[in-house]
Structure 1
């Protein structure tokens, strides 16, 4: 496993505290340092008139003191609960999403809560969506409260990220001493313009071979992990959302073999970040 820095997007919210706990547990298993990153998303200037920029506006001193106290508290708690983890905090004056994306180039993992302080509480936080789409390292969005013995689930589709997804998922399963379930979801057959139910079918041997080959390679490389493999006829988003109900971690690629490759984040990943019952890792 990587010993590179784990960066936690931290704003003191309940989801951020949950993300911090997940990151510290992961850091303890991998001997990785942790950085709690807080971003002042204050405007760089405030218009005095419609087209005239005014001087930079700094946060009030009492707000800065509150944030410093919050970060001191999370670092102190981390050093108390996870004394073997090198933990520290950083404050930046920039937008959180852009900063995390930029920092991801030198990080081993970005960990964020499923939503932070947002005016639209029912939507996936904009930071989570942006970072999951554009980071240059794996991103973990912490959700739910799964049992510690629950399996890790990996969703693969034969795209170029499938091997990386399996490697990350296997490392997580091995570190937790839990089973790994690999799911390959094959779309139902429906004729062009068909509006009725999809035509029932099964996965033939030729279609399943790339999936079986990847799983076979994983079993050879990781003989100590209990690995099960399921090839199902179902939309990947539906199959993986259902699997998340009994998993502790769901691992997927950032983009699959979609029709529209220009999407900011693959539709399956995007769906899971909103609807998964457990924590989601998006692999780039």
Structure 2
């Protein structure tokens, strides 16, 4: 079914190729088909021109044909290398961030490289990745070249009791169980006047959130770490030996108008492994 596809943003860049490899691994574990999405932007001196091109403006048809060939060849090679996995590719027209956001409504998961062609060198994560992670209709995984994660590392997830973090916890538990790797649950807290006396209450809250997932995946190795200090720093440090770090799109304390919380943004910029940003549909 189309709504069960893993959609991967692909533009031929190094980061996009790494994202495709991650998406193919996810497809092998989940059994879901993978679709490459190349968003072709007709550019003129006046900006973007879509399929209904303005009179007198002639977009580069040769470049479009080259893109079609690239996507078809890449999808074919990926399918050959992954027998039993359905891999297709499609070229869309329009601004990349907007098109990927729209297509995410029909996907179970969207996988992106942190930067594609045209990104500014000073940005660790391109504007497309940040924008799509903020507005997508499905979970988004951002993969940066050199941060593919350890082959046997745990899946790490940040939990703060917010609804978004509980959704992230379920996503993380499912991925850890699929890959038969440990699940590491991290909870950042600021000691109150009672200091360490508050630890049992904090741990009990996390354990209560974990209970349904312990029942669902009884063989899953789960550890819980309570860490004082910044949630973002805690998760960035945990990402050093994780294969995936998972976070809700916004946790507690976020401004109502922000679609992507500061912790999510910092992880996209600085994580040492792929980052999954999860929200309810």
Same topology, TM > 0.5 = yes
Asked if structure 2 preserves the Cα contact closer than 8 Å seen for 1:8 and 1:35, the reply is: yes
| Structure 2 residue ranges without an equivalent (≥5) | 48-52
In structure 2, the residue corresponding to 1:83 is in which secondary structure? coil
In structure 1, the residue corresponding to 2:195 is in which secondary structure? coil
In structure 2, the residue corresponding to 1:117 is in which secondary structure? coil
Check 1:66–1:220 CA distance in 2 against 1; reply closer, same or farther (3 A cut): same
Take 2:98 and 2:195, find their aligned partners in 1: how far apart are those partners? 44
Runs of 4+ with deviation above 6 angstroms:
none
Check 1:171–1:57 CA distance in 2 against 1; reply closer, same or farther (3 A cut): farther
Question: What corresponds to 1:164 in structure 2?
Answer: 167
Asked if structure 1 preserves the Cα contact closer than 8 Å seen for 2:44 and 2:59, the reply is: no
In structure 2, the residue corresponding to 1:204 is in which secondary structure? helix
Deviation digits for residues 75-133 of structure 1, max 9, x if unmatched? Answer: 12111111212111111111111111111111100000011113412311111001100
Residues 32-41 or 59-68, more deviating: 59-68
Matched, 1:181 2:175: no
Residues 228-237 or 36-45, more deviating: 36-45
Q: Normalising to structure 1: TM-score of the pair?
A: 0.88
Q: 2:227 aligns with which of 229, 232, 256?
A: 232
Check 1:54–1:247 CA distance in 2 against 1; reply closer, same or farther (3 A cut): same
Take 2:63 and 2:7, find their aligned partners in 1: how far apart are those partners? 23
Question: What corresponds to 1:196 in structure 2?
Answer: none
Check 1:148–1:239 CA distance in 2 against 1; reply closer, same or farther (3 A cut): same
Q: Matches of residues 52-67 of structure 1 in structure 2 within 5 Å? A: 55=55, 57-67=57-67
Take 1:66 and 1:121, find their aligned partners in 2: how far apart are those partners? 25
| Structure 1 residue ranges without an equivalent (≥5) | 48-52, 190-198
Take 2:153 and 2:58, find their aligned partners in 1: how far apart are those partners? 46
Check 1:102–1:204 CA distance in 2 against 1; reply closer, same or farther (3 A cut): same
Measure how far apart 1:267 and its partner are: 0.3
Matched, 1:201 2:195: yes
Check 1:259–1:142 CA distance in 2 against 1; reply closer, same or farther (3 A cut): closer
Q: Normalising to structure 2: TM-score of the pair?
A: 0.89
